[in-house]
Structure 1
Amino acid sequence: MTKLLRPELKYLLSGGTVIPAHPLALNGSRQFDEERQRGLTRYYMASGAGGVAVGVHSTQFEIRNPAINLLETVLQVASEEIDQAKLERPFIKVAGICGPTNQASAEVELALKYGYDLGLLSMGGLQGWTEKEILERVRHIAAMIPVIGFYLQPSVGGRIFTYEFWREFAEIPNIEAIKVAAFNRYQTLDVVRAVCSSSRAQQIDLYTGNDDNIVADLLTKYSFEVDGKVVSKEFVGGLLGHWAVWTKKAVELLQEIKSCKTTDYKGAAKLLTKGIDVTDMNAAIFDPAHGFHGCIPGIHEVLRRQGLLEGRWCLNPGEELSPGQMEEIDRVCNAYPELTDDYFIKALLTP
């Protein structure tokens, strides 16, 4: 039986919200730190985020290795923590889904077991597959769980897809949203135009995953002529690794952008300047200077400084900050204190 997205969650998703990509908490022995993992989930809820994405890139793909076997654990822990919070507002549980069809199907079964609402379906690791084969995989998964499509940049394991791929993708029932993390304006445009040209243009919500262009993505309206009529779409929210840190400020930023758009873009110039500040901060964390090698340790380092993580350890011992990255994180934290939420976390952690 196909799981469908509950109306109140679709309303939240369509209205635009902040969905952090949930990191993985480890101790000094690189073992799972359940207490701090739960603390991270509580932080995202307290920050005002509208959901979390678990089992995604920021949660580290190594959790799927049989020797590590943490995928079910992280899905279960986050879901339990959300349920125990008994929030008086909707909160979206997103599970990362990846691998060939059989693996992806098994991961969906886990997600459904723990009450996840949507699957963020990765297209990574399928380099030998044709676009037709990948679309068949998407149809299979969408018949099980509501899907957020995922356009991942090639430099971190994704691949480039044609406009025609996204045009056909958008027609698949139970696709609720697409996260565009192409880090490329041309490829981002392909997705938006494809959605606008589809029969499901009004059913599919666009979420930015372009951590290098967050504010501009959220401020921009895309309009295309389709069959003699103008169809417009906007990125309504973000599902971002960058929003795994300084999340309280991300929530405030999205609200500021929404207010700007509803007041005829009053203050847009100021927001675009702030967008450059956000990108500068993201560069320090995500480490594009070294091919994003230090991306996950960068996220961990910020959370460590704030007291949410004990250290920045990753499951892969070789995954560490790149040369000069620590200094870059120092620089942006000092340069943009108004975009950090240290004060909020300090109060959150104070007994």
Structure 2
Amino acid sequence: MLKEAVKKQLHEGTVIPAHPLALTSEKKLDEAGQRALTRYYIDAGVGGIAVGVHTTQFEIRNPEFNLYEKVLKLAIEEMEKGNTPDSFIKIAGICGPVEQALAEAEFSKSIGYDLGLLSMGGLNHLTEDELIDRTEQVAAVIPVFGFYLQPAVGGRIFTFDFWKRFADIPNVQAIKIAPFDRYHSFDVVRAVCHSKRNDEIALYTGNDDNIVNDLLTTYHIRSGDEKIEKKIVGGLLGHWSVWTKKVVEMFANIKDVQGEAQIPSNLLTLGQEITDANAAFFDSSNSFKGSIAGINEVLRRQGLLQGNWCLLEKEKLSPGQAEEIDRVYRSYPHLHDDEFVKANLTKWFDERQ
């Protein structure tokens, strides 16, 4: 069962960054950096953190690295030490075939995670029926946060019927919509609205290319004779793992006008600026090959990471990507939180804190 305070926060909507992985130049876990990142997000005012997800690098599960349990434990320790409120949403990434997914669900629940963000990446050999069965088994262990991952980074396209059946599963509590495609995003909203569990499922954007518009939109979906209103209430985003203090401020401004008849045009402009920044961070011009390294590079520049290294050698900045990050830094100084980070770095890296 999901704690009532967590469920309330989940449905009201909040900022949930996808937690990156701090590494040394030898590709070993940088524990001090990993803890500092978690402290950064907590002090920035987020409402939850997702760990062991795509931005954390799925490869932490590989036997040669064996970092999954260690990374999840570090984050829980910092969330507990950070005096986070009872409503703080602790999310663990869950991947792989049924046996692996169940083991990760059991472990995550045992150390205090509230929900499992269930990825369906890397399972293209399974049918939609088999993936529904997998979800039902995981949901029997831990509340499930569904995840529609874009095909460019390992996801696949699912039918409307799949998402309708997914939403009908007891203990599915939320869905992260991240296909980076308006048509497929709408499929999920429509499917949830056609589910008898519509009111029990919170929708979150993972569409880093359309964050602000997703959060400002109220959907009106016809289901039989009923017209259902549904909003995407918050975000669980890799993009929100950088410049996070400013993200929290932006989100508060958006929540103030969500559902209003007239949306301030400056928020729409802000949305396009954020999309442009994301194009640089996520390396959209190179099919997102440098997405994780791009996020790490921003954190490196701020002093939160030692470098932009990833576990796999092929995961690195693309040619010209660093210059694109330079460009968006110059173009949108109002989006970064460098001063906030600079003022707190010493505290976050102090192991006595």
TM-score bracket, normalised by the shorter chain, equals over 0.9
Partner of 1:290: 286
- Equivalent residue for 1:329, pick from 322, 325, 328: 325
1:169-318 superposed matches below 5 A = 169-261=166-258, 263-267=260-264, 269-318=265-314
Checking the alignment, whether the CA contact within 8 Å between 2:215 and 2:258 is kept in structure 1 is no
Partner of 2:17: 20
- Give the CA deviation at 1:113: 2.1
1:345 aligns with 2:341: yes
- Give the CA deviation at 1:181: 0.4
Tell me which stretches of 4 or more aligned residues in structure 1 moved more than 4 Å.
none
Would the alpha carbon gap of residues 227 and 74 (structure 1) be closer, same or farther in structure 2, given more than 3 Å must change? same
Length-normalised TM-score, structure 1: 0.97
Please give the secondary structure, in 2, of the residue aligned with 1:25.
coil
**Separation in 1, partners of 2:258, 2:77:** 36
Please give the secondary structure, in 1, of the residue aligned with 2:228.
strand
RMSD: 1.0
- Give the CA deviation at 1:318: 2.4
- Give the CA deviation at 1:263: 4.8
For structure 2, the residue ranges without an aligned partner over 5 or more in a row are: 348-353
Q: How much identity, in percent, do the aligned residues show?
A: 59
Structure 1: which amino acid aligns with 2:49? V
- Give the CA deviation at 1:227: 2.2
Structure 1: which amino acid aligns with 2:184? Q
- The size of the alignment, in residue pairs, is 347
1:65 aligns with 2:62: yes
Structure 1: which amino acid aligns with 2:303? G
1:53-202 superposed matches below 5 A = 53-88=50-85, 90-202=87-199
- Give the CA deviation at 1:262: 5.6
Checking the alignment, whether the CA contact within 8 Å between 2:283 and 2:321 is kept in structure 1 is yes
Structure 1: which amino acid aligns with 2:166? F
Render the CA deviation track for 1:256-289: whole Å, top value 9, x for unaligned: 111122654341x211111000000000000011
Checking the alignment, whether the CA contact within 8 Å between 2:19 and 2:56 is kept in structure 1 is yes
Structure 2: which amino acid aligns with 1:121? L
For structure 1, the residue ranges without an aligned partner over 5 or more in a row are: none
Structure 2: which amino acid aligns with 1:327? E
Would the alpha carbon gap of residues 262 and 153 (structure 1) be closer, same or farther in structure 2, given more than 3 Å must change? closer
**Separation in 2, partners of 1:259, 1:63:** 38
- Give the CA deviation at 1:90: 2.3
Length-normalised TM-score, structure 2: 0.96
Structure 2: which amino acid aligns with 1:322? S
- Give the CA deviation at 1:350: 4.5
Please give the secondary structure, in 2, of the residue aligned with 1:115.
coil
Checking the alignment, whether the CA contact within 8 Å between 2:218 and 2:259 is kept in structure 1 is no
**Separation in 1, partners of 2:189, 2:54:** 23
Would the alpha carbon gap of residues 132 and 208 (structure 1) be closer, same or farther in structure 2, given more than 3 Å must change? same
Structure 1: which amino acid aligns with 2:105? V
Render the CA deviation track for 1:65-116: whole Å, top value 9, x for unaligned: 1111000000000001111112245211100001000000011111012110
Render the CA deviation track for 1:179-219: whole Å, top value 9, x for unaligned: 00010000001000000111011110000000000000000
Would the alpha carbon gap of residues 233 and 45 (structure 1) be closer, same or farther in structure 2, given more than 3 Å must change? same
Please give the secondary structure, in 2, of the residue aligned with 1:127.
coil
Checking the alignment, whether the CA contact within 8 Å between 2:106 and 2:142 is kept in structure 1 is no
223-232 or 41-50, which deviates more: 223-232
Partner of 2:350: none
**Separation in 2, partners of 1:333, 1:71:** 32
- Give the CA deviation at 1:253: 1.1
**Separation in 2, partners of 1:86, 1:153:** 34
